[in-house]
Homo-oligomer: A and B are copies of this chain.
Amino acid sequence: MLKVGIDIGGTKIAGGVVDAEGRIVEKVRVDTPTDTGALAQAVIDMARHFRAGHDVAAVGVAAAGFIDRDRAIVIHAPNIAWRNEPLKARLEDGIQLPVAIENDANAAGWAEYRFGAGQGVDHMVMLTMGTGVGGAIILDGELFRGGHGIAAELGHMRFIRGGLLCGCGQSGCLEQYASGRALQREAHDIADAGGIGEALAALRAETGTISGPAVSRLVLAGDPGATEALRRVATALGEACGGFQAVLDPELFVIGGGVAQLGEDLLAPVRLAYETSLPGYGDRPVAQFAIAQLVNDAGLIGAADLASAEG
């Protein structure tokens, strides 16, 4: 059975036709319109396009924001002016297929569980280290959505009491310490400090900034300043995983997002911080850590897989 998955990102809408094994049969990308009406229409147009060429049973749509328990209404979105928007009804009107809306981090986590790094376990937590820190929780083989549909906001667990301000209105959220953007901030701080930050400072002098991929390249080249920056965000992530273990007791943590492309260079300090932060370490089963496998396609694959022909 083929289903369509559409992932509404900040700059691009990525859509695909996905089969029952999570393989993408056809895939397209368009720019994300800023107007909400045009955005909905772009999603409808994309779904119709796929429907014209394939025998599609349902459509899943992933978007950042709070989605209600029935996967029908966007309660609040950080980047789009939707407030209690009945998106499912609107899209079903236009597409004439059953539609399910899903939080994008949830969709990505589900895809990893079904077809990626999380295959074979029942209890999994996914953390996506991108601009922010996204989270998804798989419990007993099911995606956990919470009492109002908006659980698993793992990046907004408080990491430091009285800490850095976050876009969510709070302070000290994990994503201020463990995201790709945090990696850049640490790199700038170390560049300012001179000493081991010389390579970072030189890069900034040349390019005007320090991008996340540039930090990653320097880590792979063994630069001590970039390695220190990575160690700081990896330590924050690993410590937070110690707390998530206490609450959720997963068998596996899957780490995704741009920073995760560093692989074992990232996982080694994450594991160390996790192990030195885990309550009852030595007296309890612990979780494994893995890097996400589906990368940029995870959102659309997961959205498609979560959609149902029954609506």
Contact = CB atoms under 8 A, between A and B. Distances in A.
Given A164-B163, A192-B276, A243 B158 contact: yes
A308 to B, nearest CB: 18
A169 B247 contact: no
Interface in A172-208: 172-173, 177, 189-190, 192-196
Nearest to A160: B162
Query: How extensive is the interface on chain A, given as a class?
Result: 35 or more
A172 B166 contact: no
A275 B201 CA distance: 14
Nearest to A138: B147
A252 to B, nearest CB: 8
A246 interface: yes
Interface stretch (A9-17, A92-100, A255-263, A283-291): A283-291
A249 B149 CA distance: 8
A148 B122 CA distance: 10
Interface in A270-285: 271-272, 275-285
A39 B186 CA distance: 37
A311 B246 CA distance: 27
A144 B139 contact: yes
18 contacts: A66-B280, A123-B146, A135-B247, A139-B139, A145-B249, A150-B284, A152-B247, A153-B249, A154-B247, A156-B243, A157-B246, A158-B243, A163-B172, A169-B192, A169-B279, A192-B276, A193-B276, A196-B272
Interface of A: 66, 75-76, 83, 121-123, 135, 137, 139, 144-154, 156-166, 168-173, 177, 189-190, 192-196, 228, 239, 242-244, 246-251, 268, 271-272, 275-285, 287
